[in-house]
């Protein structure tokens, strides 16, 4: 595995791989890798001949009062994990490499970004799409893999690639969970043991939604209130939203079907966590709970 920190080096390595006939896959991350990130690498290796992982904590997607400074970083450990998992190239730029000048152009999402996470994180998705758009421009991958864990983000990235005619196919891989059901996240690192127990209420709430769907419930309001009461029962969980939405347009629904997605966001202490499930196709960890 090779580590590079500049754009010309990425381009040289990717050109070499492409001219040897390999297709290029990209897995963008902010590092502090866990099994969720590494599952994206596995998926990418199935689909592409050459796997590029970017590791960059993107300041543009953090609000002024958010956790940019505290966000956990562990590049040496990340490199060992990525290497073990078969990544071919890691691109770990610094801020000057990616943002040498103040940007005059960004990728600003319209509808779909002003709801759910967009409500409490204004500008967040603009920051995400801008950096992902830059990474697409730098690496020029044939495909890129994102996690279902960040559902709204994955949908917006798919829309960006379609709307801006970017020649990259977007693959969305299932959420990887700890044995007890909690979705893996670099931010789980912030939780105390007590908060970690309360954080389980997100996946428990979603498992309740799956259980209810499987037993025949189709009324979105009833499914939503089951999730809310499961989450409230944990105590110490400040619920930001629980929504029952369509997978394509993120529209709130009255009736659910197998493609409907239940999305949740909550704060536990100062840590903000998100999770989601597709009712008819829960990822393995939730299916077991459900
Ligand atoms: P991050 O480092 O948090 O920006 O995440 C990088 C990529 O990993 C994004 O596409 C995330 O959706 C994905 N990801 C994060 N956590 C998980 C998880 N538990 N399961 C699957 N993918 C994940």
Spatial distance between the Cα atoms of 157 and 171, rounded to a whole number of angstroms: 10
Q: Is 147 exposed, middle or buried (0-12, 13-18, 19+ CB in 10 A)?
A: buried
Spatial distance between the Cα atoms of 164 and 63, rounded to a whole number of angstroms: 26
Give the CA count within 13 Å in the CB-facing half-sphere of 247.
13
Using an 8 Å Cβ cutoff, are 97 and 5 in contact? yes
Work out the mean pLDDT of the chain and round it to a whole number. 96
Mean pLDDT of 217-228: 98
Closest atom of ligand 1 relative to the 33 alpha carbon: 2
Residues with C-beta less than 6 Å from any ligand 1 atom: 29-30, 36-37, 39-40, 146-147, 149-150, 173, 175-176, 183-186
Residue 203: closest CA among 272, 285, 99, 144: 285
Expressed in angstroms and rounded, the spacing between residue 31 Cα and the centre of ligand 1 is 10
pLDDT band at 105 (very low <50, low <70, confident <90, very high): very high
Residue 94: closest CA among 55, 129, 63, 37: 55
pLDDT band at 108 (very low <50, low <70, confident <90, very high): very high
Closest atom of ligand 1 relative to the 39 alpha carbon: 21
Q: Quick check: pTM over 0.95?
A: yes
> Would the pLDDT of 286 be above 90?
no
> Would the pLDDT of 285 be above 90?
no
Each residue's pLDDT tens digit, 30-49: 999 999 999 999 999 999 99
Spatial distance between the Cα atoms of 147 and 153, rounded to a whole number of angstroms: 9
Helix, coil or strand: residue 60: helix
Return the H-helix or E-strand segment holding 27.
strand 24-29
Expressed in angstroms and rounded, the spacing between residue 215 Cα and the centre of ligand 1 is 30
DSSP 8-state code for residue 176: P
- Beta-strand runs (E) in 152-288: 169-173, 238-245, 261-268, 271-278
Each residue's pLDDT tens digit, 127-156: 999 999 999 999 999 999 999 999 999 999
């Amino acid at each position: 595995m090779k580590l590079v920190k500049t754009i010309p080096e990425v381009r040289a390595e990717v050109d070499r791989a492409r001219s040897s006939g390999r297709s290029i896959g990209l897995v963008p991350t902010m590092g502090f890798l866990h099994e969720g990130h590494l599952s994206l690498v596995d998926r990418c290796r199935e689909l592409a001949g050459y796997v590029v992982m970017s590791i960059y904590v993107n300041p543009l997607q953090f609000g002024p009062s958010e956790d940019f400074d505290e966000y956990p970083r562990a590049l040496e450990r990340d490199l060992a994990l990525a290497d073990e998992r078969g990544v071919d190239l890691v691109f770990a730029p610094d801020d000057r490499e990616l943002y040498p000048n103040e940007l005059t152009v960004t990728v600003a999402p319209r509808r779909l970004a002003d709801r759910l996470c967009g409500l409490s994180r204004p500008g967040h998705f603009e920051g995400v799409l801008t950096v992902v758009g830059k990474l697409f421009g730098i690496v020029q991958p044939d495909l890129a893999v994102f996690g279902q864990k960040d559902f709204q983000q994955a949908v917006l990235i798919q829309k960006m690639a379609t709307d801006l005619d970017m020649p990259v196919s977007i693959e969305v891989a299932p959420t990887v969970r700890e044995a007890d059901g909690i979705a893996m996240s670099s931010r789980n690192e912030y939780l105390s043991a007590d908060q970690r127990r309360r954080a389980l209420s997100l996946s428990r709430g979603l498992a309740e939604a799956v259980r209810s769907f499987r037993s025949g419930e189709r009324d979105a309001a009833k499914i939503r209130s089951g999730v809310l009461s499961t989450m409230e029962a944990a105590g110490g969980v400040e619920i930001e939203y629980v929504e029952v939405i369509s997978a394509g347009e993120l529209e709130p629904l009255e009736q659910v079907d197998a493609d409907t997605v239940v999305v949740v966001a909550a704060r536990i202490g100062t840590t903000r966590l998100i999770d989601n499930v597709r009712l008819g196709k829960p990822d393995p960890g939730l299916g077991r709970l459900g």
